Amino acid sequence: MEVTVTVNGTAYERDVEPRKLLIHFLRDDLDLTGSHIGCDTGNCGACSIIVDGVLVKSCMLLAVQADGSEIETVEGLADGDRLTELQQAFSDHHALQCGYCTPGMLMSATALLRANASPSDEEIKKALQGNICRCTGYWNIFEAVKSVAR
């Protein structure tokens, strides 16, 4: 089936099988490998992206379901070498160890801060509950997000 999407401002049109998951479409068809596959069971959140303004796990959507949508992935955050304030905060607070969960953490935190620029500690934790860090480096991730909350 023909699928047309806009990813980080660039339009793409591809012919995809209905059985293809959106994460595979991004990584294999569009070569956007920033979004990771951690568990492939909907638990870990490493594949989190924003579709039409809504944070989702891209391993639980079919690519054909995204037809016509506007997608944001981790590649769309920085402007060249200029990191977003949140990305810089992750760096400053050592909020990544192995880095595997980071793209999903960044997208979840980005979605949170867009909806709520002044989240409480509880709201930050709840916003990140769908993202698992196998290094268990949660505290610095929390601190990084908190540091950019107004």
Partner 1 sequence: MLLREVEYVKPSSLADALAALAANDGARALAGGQTLINVMKARAASPDVLVDLNGLDELKGIELAADGTLSIGPMTTYAELVGSAEARARPILGEVCAQIADVQVRNRGTIGGNLCSNDPTNHLPPLMAAVGAELTIAGEDGERTVPASAFFLGVYMTAVQQGELLTRITVPAGKRDGFAAVTLGVDGTCIANAAASLDGSLRIALGCVDAVPVLVEAGSPDDVRAAVRAAKLDPPSDVHASGAYRAHLAEVLAERAARQAMR
User: Residues interacting with partner 1, by CB under 8 A?
Assistant: 1, 17-21, 24, 40-42, 45, 48, 54-57, 59-62, 64-65, 108, 111-112, 126-127, 129-131
Output 65 or 84, the one with its CB closest to partner 1.
Answer: 65
With both helix axes pointing from N to C terminus, report the angle between 138-148 and 102-115 in degrees, rounded to the nearest 10: 30
Output 87 or 108, the one with its CB closest to partner 1.
Answer: 108
| Rounded-to-integer distance, Cα 34 and Cα 36, Å | 6
At residue 141, φ and ψ (nearest 5 deg) are: -65, -45
Tell me whether strands 48-51 and 10-15 are parallel, antiparallel or unpaired: unpaired
Residue 42 Cβ vs partner 1, minimum distance, rounded to whole Å: 5
CB-count exposure of residue 81 (10 Å: 0-12, 13-18, 19+): exposed
Please state, as a whole number, how many other Cβ atoms lie within 10 Å of the Cβ of residue 71. Answer: 25
Output 29 or 40, the one with its CB closest to partner 1.
Answer: 40
Residue 49 Cβ vs partner 1, minimum distance, rounded to whole Å: 9
Output 7 or 61, the one with its CB closest to partner 1.
Answer: 61
Written as one letter, the residue type at 125 is K
Residue 88 Cβ vs partner 1, minimum distance, rounded to whole Å: 23
Residue 19 Cβ vs partner 1, minimum distance, rounded to whole Å: 4
